[in-house]
Each structure stands twice: as C-alpha cells, then as structure tokens.
Amino acid sequence: MKFMDWLFRFLKLEYKHVWILISGFLGTIAPGFLILYHFKPELVEKYDVFKLAILSLSLTLPLLIINSLITGMLFYKLPHETNDENDKNVEATKGALSLNAFVIYTSLLFCYFTSSSFKHLLKLFLEWEIGLFILGIFVLIVLRKDGGNK
C-alpha cells in the first residue's frame, strides 16, 4: 500500500478534498506571499511563517469573498453531472479558488512586467472583479432566457 493511500484512509480524506486544499493554498496563501515578496520583500525576511501566512490571507481573502459570490451566482444555474449537494459545493469552492488565483496571478504578473505600484495592483483587482461580475450577470441573463438548468 502506498503511503498516500494509507494517509487518505487514516484521515478519511477523499481526493476531492485534497484538491480543495491544494487549490486553497494556490488561491490564497501563495498569491498573498507573492504580493508580499514583490512589494515588500523585507517583510518576508522579518516575519516567521505563521505571520506571513496570516498576512497573505489578509491580502487575498477579500477577493475570495467576491469571487465566491460570482461563482455562486453562476454555479447553481449551470447543469451538473451529479445531483449530490456536497459535490456541487466542492466544485463551487474549487471554482471560486481558481477564479481568485487567476485574478491575482494575472494582475501580479502585469505589475511585475510593468514595474507598477501596489495601488496599481489594487486598481487591476477592482477592474478584474467588476469585469467578471458584469460577465457573470450577462451569463445569468443568457441562461435565464435559455430556460436555465436543462
């Protein structure tokens, strides 16, 4: 028996929960750490891992709340392969975390190549979120005209 299989059985984890943990790290802590490292690298040297994780989460969780609202609006109107409520919630959570990672990584990449300031990064976040919200409303209108969940 492989170690990972034994660990999953011991902790009673399913693979979908492991993917949530991985996407949670890649959608919240990792981009927050990159923001800190890009704009204030002296903080990375100064603070310990726990403080860096809390600071990273404080930078990214407000965006995750907005992205959760956007994906929540859309997710329950789209057709699904399963009717299990737990599976739907897992997929919606992964969608929100993926959207969060997409917004932060693309904005941070743009700021890196253009040597932009932190204020410009916040403006990019705002532009992305407004654009995604408008796109989500547009998709909801189209789905409502098509009859929604077929």
- Average pLDDT of the residues in 36-62: 93
Domain-by-domain residue ranges, the chain? 3-146
CB 14 within 8 A of CB 87: no
Kindly state the helix (H) or strand (E) to which residue 118 belongs, with its residue range. Answer: helix 118-146
Residue 46, exposed/middle/buried by CB under 10 A (0-12, 13-18, 19+)?
exposed
Spell out the residues 6+ positions from residue 33 whose beta carbon is closer than 8 angstroms to its own. 44, 52, 53, 56
pTM: 0.80
Q: How far apart are CA 14 and CA 8, in angstroms?
A: 7
Considering only 15-19, 53-57, 115-119, 120-124, which range has the smallest mean pLDDT? Answer: 15-19
Q: How far apart are CA 22 and CA 37, in angstroms?
A: 21
* pLDDT value, residue 90: 78
* pLDDT value, residue 73: 80
Share of the chain above pLDDT 90, in %: 51
- Which residue type occupies 118? F
CB 46 within 8 A of CB 38: no
Spell out the residues 6+ positions from residue 132 whose beta carbon is closer than 8 angstroms to its own. 67, 70, 99, 103
* pLDDT value, residue 79: 63
Contacts 24+ apart (CB under 8 A), 110-117: 111/38, 112/38
